[in-house]
């Protein structure tokens, strides 16, 4: 009769908070070109959240779930509560906290070595739902709590619908371009620097979170929301054009001498805006 080993694999020891924080400082993704709020505010805050989560034994998927819960709570308050300055503060804080944990789940995965394709899939699925849900909640809140003395409810609902179209298109453009470059053997876009981080602020999810501080001041919220939409649409159009030009290039075009008859490397580059 054959025997099989039943020895269990040794359990990984949970790091303490200081150990986790020290490990995360050495495991950060490059920040070049990343929108400014995400680069200098959200990621550093997420580092502390990830260290606390790792010390508490939370998995990356658990952090993703908490992020989704906080975001959903913010959207529920936005839709259910009457528009007021206090409502805007609560919504902004909940959404921003959800965004911090959205950055923290990947940091927990890198720190603990528990990243997986399934976890990355879950993170992207949550993001793909959260992004349009935010603007759909704006449209619902505008129609459920009309403020005709400030602006027509339909005007804000239309802006929110346009936001959904731009955000979903940009999200798909970014994700799909990364996959197609990888499978096609194409190089990625130039990283960019500090200036690009600030130019990309309208694409930063953190900016969208904090704009709800103006929710209780309709004379400010509507124009700010419209300006943010216009800036996002313009940057997304430039980004999509560069991604398309980068994907038109075949791997053979990157061989020595190819630029003599083709587009220049700069012309073929694409830009990350999220």
C-alpha to C-alpha distance for 67 and 220, rounded to whole angstroms: 28
In a domain, 6, yes or no: no
In a domain, 164, yes or no: yes
Give the list of residues 6+ apart from residue 133 with CB closer than 8 angstroms, or none: 71, 72, 75
pLDDT at site 35: 95
In CATH, what number is assigned to the domain containing residue 264?
Answer: 1.20.120.1760
In a domain, 94, yes or no: yes
C-alpha to C-alpha distance for 221 and 212, rounded to whole angstroms: 8
C-alpha to C-alpha distance for 124 and 174, rounded to whole angstroms: 12
Token pair for residue 146?
């009309």
Structural domain of residue 40, as residue ranges?
Answer: 30-251+260-268
In a domain, 12, yes or no: no
In a domain, 219, yes or no: yes
C-alpha to C-alpha distance for 32 and 67, rounded to whole angstroms: 25
In a domain, 133, yes or no: yes
Contact predicate 79/72, CB 8 Å: no
C-alpha to C-alpha distance for 230 and 117, rounded to whole angstroms: 35
In a domain, 13, yes or no: no
In a domain, 107, yes or no: yes
Domain count, the chain: 1
Report the Cα 152 to chain-centroid distance in Å: 30
Token pair for residue 144?
């459920």
Question: For helices 85-112 and 117-144, what crossing angle results, to 10°?
Answer: 180
How confident is the prediction along the chain (274 residues), in pLDDT tens digits per residue? 444 444 444 567 899 999 999 999 877 788 888 999 999 999 999 999 999 999 999 999 999 999 999 999 999 999 999 999 999 999 999 999 999 999 999 999 999 999 999 999 999 999 999 999 999 999 999 999 998 877 789 999 999 999 999 999 999 999 999 899 888 888 777 777 899 999 999 999 999 999 999 999 988 999 999 999 999 999 999 999 999 998 986 554 444 433 333 333 333 333 333 3
| DSSP symbols for the chain | ------PPPPPPPPPPHHHHHHHHHTSPPP-TTS-HHIIIIIHHHHHHHHHHHHHHT--HHHHHHHHHHHHHHHHHHHHHSPP-HHHHHHHHHHHHHHHHHHHHHHHHHHHHT---HHHHHHHHHHHHHHHHHHHHHHHHHHHHS--TTT--HHHHHHHHHHHHHHHHHHHHHHHHHHHHHHHHT--------HHHHHHTGGG-HHHHHHGGGGTT-HHHHHHHHHHHHHHHHHHHHHHHHHHHHHHHS-GGGGSTTGGGTS--HHHH------
Radius of gyration (Cα) for the chain, nearest Å?
22
pLDDT at site 142: 95
pLDDT at site 9: 43
């Amino acid at each position: 009769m054959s025997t099989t080993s039943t020895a269990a694999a040794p359990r990984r020891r949970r790091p303490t908070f200081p150990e986790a924080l020290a490990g995360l400082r050495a495991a950060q993704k490059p920040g070049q070109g990343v929108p400014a709020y995400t680069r200098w505010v959200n990621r550093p805050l997420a580092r502390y959240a990830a260290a606390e989560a790792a010390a508490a034994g939370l998995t990356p998927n658990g952090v993703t779930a908490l992020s989704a819960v906080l975001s959903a709570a913010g959207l529920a308050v936005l839709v259910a509560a009457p528009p007021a300055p206090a409502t805007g503060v609560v919504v902004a804080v909940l959404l921003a906290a959800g965004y911090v944990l959205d950055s923290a789940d990947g940091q927990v995965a890198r720190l603990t070595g528990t990243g997986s394709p399934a976890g990355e899939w879950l993170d992207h699925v949550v993001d793909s739902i959260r992004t349009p849900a935010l603007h759909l909640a704006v449209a619902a809140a505008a129609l459920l709590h009309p403020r005709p003395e400030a602006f027509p409810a339909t005007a804000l609902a239309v802006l929110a619908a346009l936001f959904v179209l731009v955000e979903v298109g940009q999200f798909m453009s970014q994700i799909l371009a990364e996959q197609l470059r990888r499978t096609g053997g194409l190089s990625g876009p130039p990283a960019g620097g500090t200036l690009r981080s600030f130019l990309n602020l309208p694409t930063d999810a953190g900016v969208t979170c904090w704009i709800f501080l103006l929710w209780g001041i309709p004379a400010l919220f509507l124009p700010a929301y419209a300006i943010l939409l216009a800036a996002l649409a313009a940057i997304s159009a430039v980004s999509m054009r560069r991604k398309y030009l980068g994907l038109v290039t075949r791997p053979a075009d990157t061989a020595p001498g190819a630029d003599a008859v083709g587009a220049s490397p700069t012309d073929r580059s694409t830009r990350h805006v999220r």
